[in-house]
C-alpha cells in the first residue's frame, strides 16, 4: 500500500479510502466487519463514514454503530485506523440537530463518539456548507473539540472553492489550522471541481478525497457487463449510460487495449491527479474490495492520460475555462 499526507497535515493515509456507506443498508454487519478486517490486512488505514449513514430515517447512525462494534473487538483495530466521519444533515425533526452550529457540532460529535465506541475522531468533516452559520462560530466549536481531544483534524465535503478560501481565511485569523481535506464528487465524467475547487485546495494545502470515483458504476465496465448479461442496469443507470454510450464504449475499448478493467483505470486516473489524496471505494462485498486494490498496480503514461482527456474532456482552471 502507498501512503501520502492528508493535505498539508503530517497525517499519513492510504491512497485508497474505505467508504462505509453500504455497511448496514447493503452489507450485513458480519460481512462489513470482514471487509474492514481485510482492508486492514491490505494496509488500508483510512476509513470514511458519516453520522447519517445506515439506511435512511430511523436508521441514521447504524453504520457508525457497526464500525463501533468492530472497534470493540480490539486487536489494535482502532489504533490502526485513521477514522473520518461527518456531520450536517438532520438526525431527527428537531431544529438544532442539523447543520454546523456550535450546538450541533458539540452534540453530533458526542453522539458519533458513542456510536463509534471511541474517544476521538481523526478527521471530523462538515458534510455540506452551512450558509446560516458564521465561520467564527464553526471554528470556535471545532477548536473546543480539538482542545478536548475529541477530534484531531477538520475537513469539508461538497464545498465550493470560495467556501474553502473563506473558511481558511477565518481559521488563519484565529491561528487555527482549519481544513486539511475536501471531499468532493470527482471522476472522469464529473470533473467540475477542476475549475475552482482543486486550484483553491492546492493553494491552501487541502487534500481532495473524491467520492463516486466510478460515477455510480458507469465507469466500471457496464457495457461489457450488459453484453455479458452479468448486470442488468436499473432505469436511472441505463439513462445515464445511454446519454454517454459512445464515450463509454470508447473508454472500455481503451481500457481493454491497456489490459486493465475499466474500474481500475478510473481509480488509477484519480490517483494520478496531483490534488487527490485518496479516492473513496465503497465495497458491498469482499470481491469488490479485492478488485479495487488492483488500481494501485495500474500506471498510466502521459499519453494514456491525454487519451482519457480526449474521451472525457475536463476543465481548465477558472477563469481561463470560460474567458481568455
Residue tagged active-site, from 53, 153, 186, 251: 53
Q: What torsion do the CA atoms of 315, 13, 211, 31 make, to the nearest 10 degrees? A: 160
User: Any idea which residue has 489494535 for its cell?
Assistant: 76
User: Any idea which residue has 500506471 for its cell?
Assistant: 299
Rounded CA-CA distance 109/40 in Å is 25
Q: Calculate the alpha carbon distances from 105 to 19, 55, 81 in Å.
A: 22, 22, 22
- Note the pTM of the prediction, 2 decimals: 0.94
pLDDT digits (tens), the chain, 324 positions: 999 999 999 999 999 999 999 999 999 999 999 999 999 999 999 999 999 999 888 899 999 999 999 999 999 999 999 999 999 999 999 999 999 999 999 999 999 999 999 999 999 999 999 999 999 999 999 999 999 999 999 999 999 999 999 999 999 999 999 999 999 999 999 999 999 999 999 999 999 999 999 999 999 999 988 877 655 666 567 888 888 999 999 999 999 999 999 999 999 999 999 999 999 999 999 999 999 999 999 999 999 999 999 999 999 999 999 999
| Adjacent-strand bridge partners of 125 | 86, 155
Rounded CA-CA distance 297/293 in Å is 8
Reported in sequence order, the residue ranges of the chain that DSSP labels E, i.e. its strands, are 3-5, 12-14, 17-19, 46-48, 82-87, 121-126, 151-157, 179-185, 207-211, 280-281
Cis preceding-peptide flag for 230 (omega within 30 of 0): no
Task: Give the chain's domains with CATH numbers.
Answer: 3-217+262-301 (3.20.20.100)
Is residue 3 annotated as part of the catalytic site, yes or no? no
Amino acid at each position: 500500500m502507498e501512503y501520502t499526507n492528508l493535505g498539508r497535515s503530517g497525517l499519513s493515509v492510504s491512497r485508497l479510502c474505505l467508504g462505509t456507506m453500504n455497511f448496514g443498508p447493503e452489507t450485513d454487519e458480519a460481512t462489513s466487519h470482514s471487509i474492514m478486517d481485510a482492508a486492514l490486512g491490505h494496509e488500508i488505514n483510512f476509513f470514511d463514514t458519516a453520522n447519517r449513514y445506515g439506511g435512511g430515517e430511523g436508521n441514521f447512525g447504524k453504520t457508525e454503530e457497526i464500525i463501533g462494534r468492530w472497534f470493540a473487538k480490539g486487536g489494535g483495530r482502532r489504533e490502526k485506523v485513521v477514522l473520518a466521519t461527518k456531520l450536517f444533515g438532520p438526525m431527527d425533526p428537531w431544529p438544532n440537530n442539523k447543520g454546523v452550529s456550535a450546538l450541533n457540532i458539540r452534540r453530533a460529535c458526542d453522539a458519533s463518539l458513542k456510536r463509534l465506541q471511541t474517544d476521538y475522531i481523526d478527521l471530523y468533516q462538515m458534510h455540506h456548507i452551512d450558509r446560516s452559520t458564521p465561520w467564527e462560530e464553526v471554528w470556535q466549536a471545532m477548536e473546543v473539540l480539538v482542545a478536548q481531544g475529541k477530534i484531531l483534524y477538520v475537513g469539508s465535503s461538497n464545498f465550493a472553492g470560495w467556501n474553502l478560501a473563506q473558511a481558511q481565511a477565518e481559521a488563519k485569523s484565529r491561528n487555527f489550522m482549519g481544513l486539511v481535506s475536501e471531499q468532493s464528487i470527482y471522476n472522469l465524467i464529473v470533473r467540475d471541481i477542476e475549475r475552482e475547487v482543486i486550484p483553491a485546495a492546492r493553494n491552501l494545502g487541502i487534500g481532495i478525497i473524491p467520492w463516486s470515483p466510478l460515477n455510480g458504476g458507469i465507469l466500471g465496465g457496464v457495457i461489457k457487463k450488459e453484453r455479458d448479461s452479468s448486470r442488468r442496469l436499473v432505469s436511472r443507470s441505463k439513462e445515464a449510460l445511454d446519454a454517454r454510450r459512445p464515450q463509454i464504449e470508447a473508454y472500455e475499448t481503451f481500457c481493454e487495449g491497456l489490459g486493465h478493467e475499466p474500474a481500475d483505470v478510473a481509480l488509477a486516473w484519480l490517483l494520478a491527479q496531483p490534488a487527490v489524496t485518496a479516492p473513496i471505494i465503497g465495497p458491498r462485498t469482499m470481491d469488490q474490495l479485492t478488485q479495487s486494490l488492483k488500481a494501485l498496480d495500474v500506471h498510466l503514461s502521459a499519453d494514456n492520460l491525454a487519451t482519457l482527456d480526449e474521451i472525457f474532456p475536463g476543465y481548465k482552471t477558472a477563469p481561463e475555462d470560460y474567458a481568455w
